[in-house]
Each structure stands twice: as C-alpha cells, then as structure tokens.
Chains A and B, each alone.
Chain A
Amino acid sequence: MKMPPFDYACPATVAEAVALLAGHDDAKVIAGGQSLVPMLAFRLAAPGLLVDLRKLSDLRRIDISDKGVVLGALVRWCDILADARLSHAHPLLVAAVEHVAHYQIRNRGTVGGSVAHADPAAEMPGIVLACDAQIATVGKSGPRVIPAEKFFLGPLMTVLAADEIIVEIALPAWPASRRWGFQEFARRRGDFAMAAAAVWYDEDQGRARNAHVGAIGISDRPLRLPAVEAVLNGHAIDEAAIAQAEAAASAAVDPPEDIHASAAYRRALIGTMVERALRDAAQRARGT
C-alpha cells in the first residue's frame, strides 16, 4: 500500500530534532526506516510529521575504549560488520548482528532504530538487555541514561517519551576471556527469530560466574532468564549443567502461540537455543 501523507523535516542538530518532536503531537523519528516504513506502508502508523535524523552525523560513531563499546544511534548493521575491532571488543554483538535481516536492510537499518522500535523478535533489543547496556537519550527535559532492563515495556513499547531520541547505546567492556554464544532459529535466513538465545559468563577456577542469559522472540519483549543464570553460576559448564540450563530455559518461559509455532514448540526451541549457545561458549573455552 502507499503510505499515508505526512510532513517531513530533516534537522541539523539533536536539539532541533527534539524541538520538532516536542512541538508536534504526532511526530515520529525516522532513522534507517527499515521498520517504520513497512509500518507506514501497512498504515499501522500514520504520523503527522517524520523527523529524519540522517544529518546528525555525530550519531554514526563507534567508540571503543576500556570502558566498552559505545554505538551512536545511527550506526548501521553494515557498519558493525565492517568494523574489525568489534570482533574482539564485542564478539557477541557481531554474532547477533550477523542474524539481522538481509544485505540491503543492513545497509540502512540502525541500532538506535531497532532498540526504539522494540520488536520482541529483533536481535538488538535482546543484546542490549543481555549485555546490561545503557541507553542514552535526549528529550525536551534534557538527557537521561536508561538501563536496558528498564527500557522495554512490551511489543513495540518502550519508556521513550514522544520527544525523546536515542543518541547512544553503551555496552560495558567485554573481557577477552569471557565465554559466550549466540544461537537463533528462523525459518529462512534473515527472518525474525522464532527463538534466539544470547548467553555469556565469566570463569573463575573453571566455574561460571556472572552468567547472563537473554532470550529473544519468545515473549512480548526481550527477556533475561534468571532461573537459567542461577543454574549456571558457581558450576562448571559441562554436559550436566548444559542439560539443566536447557530444562530451566524451557520451564522459565511462557511463549505466545501464533501461526508460526505453538507455545510448546517455542518452549522447546528456546531450551535448544540455550543449550547450543552454551555448548558454543564452552567449546570456545577449550579452543581459543
């Protein structure tokens, strides 16, 4: 379908963009447009004004320091995949982004757009949650920093106010010795996840600590699975621990039923994704 009519503005600064959002009742931010434009084409969204962020080139930076990785909101998937530093600075992020959509979409879609859009089956919201990211925003009442665990409220719903723009996503530093795995199941490459798991832990004398288990595509928002983390913390990640984690993951979720899969199938699938991701993590521990 053709999109509904709207006005369009292309501000040169974040402050101008915020002023435009604050000055209109039904304005919407557009970055890469890879989620918003389909919603406009289906007429699921009909904003009066689109505020295009494309001139805000400060938001395209990827900064890597001993504090971690800071992604400007306009960093695209292809920018992440092209940045060789990130395979050491944040390998879990890179592994997840390899599952994001298709080649052409990766050339336009942005990290800030994905997080603001908050699709429960999208990779980036799951990664920011699983990695304790901090989401920096600017609105008419000023800047704020929102921890990822407080950011997502439901399907396509976040705590962002109508006049707020995501400017940066900060992922805490990633120690080189950290064990991690990312596994996703989708019917076709580039499709949204039917279920995906992002797991990592640090090791202390052969035992896992600080385990983080994120689950994507099995709820109305990305989830952490504390019951699975509890199974892992303090234990060696061996076959027994992996089997326990798989069972705990399936038991921890209450997934929706839809035309793509039954709840029982999704429950089994997230267990399998956690199992495979942990196996990858443990193998990495031996291999590299």
Chain B
Amino acid sequence: MRAKFKVNGKDVEVEVEPRLTLADCLRHHLRLTGTHVGCEHGICGACTVLVDGAAVRACLMLAVQAEGSEVVTVEGLSLEEGLTPLQASFRRHHALQCGFCTPGMITTAHALLSEEPDCDADRVREVLSGNLCRCTGYIPIVEAVLDARPAYGGREGLKDGGKGHS
C-alpha cells in the first residue's frame, strides 16, 4: 500500500507492504542508511528516529503508520558544512567507538535536549538507558550530551548532577 510522509523536510511517497517497519522503509526504500537496525524488537534503540518531534523506535512502527507524519533521521540532524554542536561534542568526548549505536544516541539526545535543555546527568542516563552501547561504557556519551546543552539553549555552567564525570 501507499504511504506519504515527510522525511528530513522532503515529501516522500512509498509503495510498501504493511508489514514493513519504518526503519526498513528508511533504509531500503529511501536509502537513508544512517538509521541502524540492531535488535529489530525494540530493545537496542539503534533505530531511533524522530516522528513529529518525538523520539521513537523505527523498528516498532510500521511505515504505513507514518502516513502524514514528519520523520527526521540522523541524516536530517547533520549539516553539509561540518559537525553540529551535538556531533562535535560526541567527537570531543570520544563518545563513540564502533559507531553502531551512534545514530540512535544522536537522535535520542537531540530529542531530549530539545525538550529539556537543562537536563542533568541522572536524566541523561535515564533517557539513554533505552539505547544500548557495547563499547564506550556510556560515560563519554553522557558527558557529550551534557556538554551539548548550551547549543540547545541550556543555561551555561550547569552542574552535571554529580554523576556525569568519572
């Protein structure tokens, strides 16, 4: 069946089977392979995208359910000319090693920081608990997210809640 929605600001129209997940639709039909597919049953968070502004697991949503929605993937959170402040913070803090979980971390952190630019380390940890990383041990990821807060309007000089730094 047909589904029409927006991806990263562009209108798209796809002809898909109802059983196709949004994650597979983005990757295979729209060639947006930044969205990674890990567990395919809602545990790992690698496939996180934004649907109408909210972070969701793209493996737990059918592509046909995106009809009329605005989807933003990790590609839509990137700049042509260089790194975004959130990406730069990930690089500065070595917040990725193999990089498989990174698209889900970036989309989730972007949603969190957009909603709560003054979030503390406990809140970052709570939110990122839905995204599995098997390399970093999370500490640099939490630091990178906290350090990106000013770019989202967070107050400068915020404390990290005491648990952000090792």
Contact = CB atoms under 8 A, between A and B. Distances in A.
Interface string B103-133: 0000010011000000000000011011000
B17 interface: yes
Contact of A102 (B19, B65, B111, B130): B130
A55 B25 CA distance: 22
Contacts of B154: none
B64 A8 contact: yes
A5 B65 contact: no
A204 B1 CA distance: 61
Contact of B18 (A7, A38, A54, A78): A7
Interface of B: 1, 17-19, 21, 24, 40-42, 45, 48, 54-57, 59-62, 64-65, 67, 108, 111-112, 126-127, 129-130
Nearest 8 pairs of A and B residues by beta carbon: A102-B130, A8-B18, A38-B41, A107-B54, A3-B19, A189-B129, A37-B60, A103-B127
Contacts of B61: 33, 37, 108
Q: Chain A, interface size: which category? A: 20 to 34
10 contacts: A8-B64, A30-B62, A33-B60, A34-B57, A38-B42, A102-B130, A103-B111, A104-B57, A105-B130, A108-B60
Contacts of B111: 103
A206 interface: no
Describe B's contact surface by its main secondary structure.
mixed
A1 B40 contact: yes
Interface in A96-138: 101-105, 107-108
Contacts of B129: 102, 188-190
Contact of B19 (A2, A34, A78, A105): A2
Interface of A: 1-8, 10, 30, 33-34, 37-38, 40-42, 50, 52, 54, 78, 101-105, 107-108, 188-190
Contacts of A107: 54-56
Contacts of A10: 64, 67
B72 to A, nearest CB: 13
Contact of A103 (B55, B62, B65): B55
A37 B42 contact: yes
Given A1-B40, A3-B19, A108-B61, 14 more contacts: A3-B21, A4-B19, A8-B18, A33-B60, A34-B42, A34-B57, A37-B21, A38-B60, A41-B40, A52-B65, A54-B65, A107-B54, A107-B56, A108-B56
Contacts of B55: 103-104, 107
Nearest to A50: B18
A108 B42 CA distance: 12
B65 A33 contact: yes
- Give the interface centre of A4, A33, A42 by most chain B CB atoms within 10 Å: A33
A42 B127 CA distance: 26
A103 B125 CA distance: 11
Contacts of B18: 5-8, 50
- Give the interface centre of B1, B61, B62 by most chain A CB atoms within 10 Å: B62
- Give the interface centre of B19, B59, B112 by most chain A CB atoms within 10 Å: B19
Given A33-B61, A37-B42, A104 B130 contact: yes
